[in-house]
Homo-oligomer: A and B are copies of this chain.
Amino acid sequence: MARAKTAKPYHHGELREALAVAGRRLMEEKGLRGFTLRECARRAGVSHAAPAHHFASIDDLLAEIAVRGYHELAAAMTAEARRSGDDPARRLVGQGVGYMAFAAANPVLFQLMFSREANRFEAETLAQAAKSAYLLQREAVEALIPRASGEVKERMADFAWASVHGFITLVLEGQLGERDSPWALKARGLAALSAMVETVVLAGNR
């Protein structure tokens, strides 16, 4: 049947994609608690039951959005590390900056990604996506302390990630420097990053 170009086709065509995009926007607008499957459907221009054909449940949609978030996070980390030149210490700091910048730009998504809510890594793809961010951090640490033992490298990768993650998490929750100006917060973040690098180097040269 011929129909006008502006008419909505019965089949959306890319509903899965559209739902993920709409869901991400909705999430940042209304928060995790205001996230609604039906509202996602409305924004995608389909009926409330349509998403069921692409996501088994609302948790499935959240998991998909989280996976995409991990990929973006990894991209932001590598991009910022690349901009930081060849010095391993600078690269590690840069990666941390990329991490924090992504979290600050997508606070609700970031919260979802690191929330055990609807996110219990049942999906193998989610665990894999999360692991890639860890591996990036691990590689950067290994480049910084190449002569350290495997165990020290691992411990310091943990530590490096924990420092960065903890700092930006606390900032996003308003627990650190609530009333500080953005650039003051950035300075504090950089201070935390260099303290972290110092710790890694110290442990790596022992």
Contacts and interface: CB of A to CB of B under 8 A. Distances in A.
A111 to B, nearest CB: 7
A192 interface: yes
Contact of A191 (B33, B114, B158, B174): B158
Interface string A164-201: 11110110111111100000000010011001101100
B155 A161 contact: no
Secondary structure dominating the interface of A: helix
A192 B158 contact: yes
Given A163-B163, A166-B165, A174 B116 contact: yes
Contacts of A32: 115, 117
A162 B119 CA distance: 23
B31 A117 contact: yes
A192 B116 contact: no
Contacts of A114: 169-170, 173, 175
B191 A195 contact: no
Interface residues of A, number: 45
Given A33-B117, A195-B203, A158 B167 contact: yes
With most chain B CB atoms within 10 A of its CB, the pick from A119, A198, A199 is A199
Nearest to A202: B198
Contacts of A76: none
Contact of A162 (B33, B115, B156, B166): B166
Interface string A18-41: 000000000000011100000000
5 contacts: A119-B173, A134-B175, A155-B188, A155-B192, A198-B202
Given A158-B167, A163-B196, 19 more contacts: A31-B116, A111-B116, A114-B170, A115-B173, A119-B173, A158-B177, A158-B192, A159-B191, A159-B192, A159-B196, A161-B166, A162-B170, A162-B176, A163-B166, A165-B166, A165-B170, A195-B203, A196-B199, A198-B203
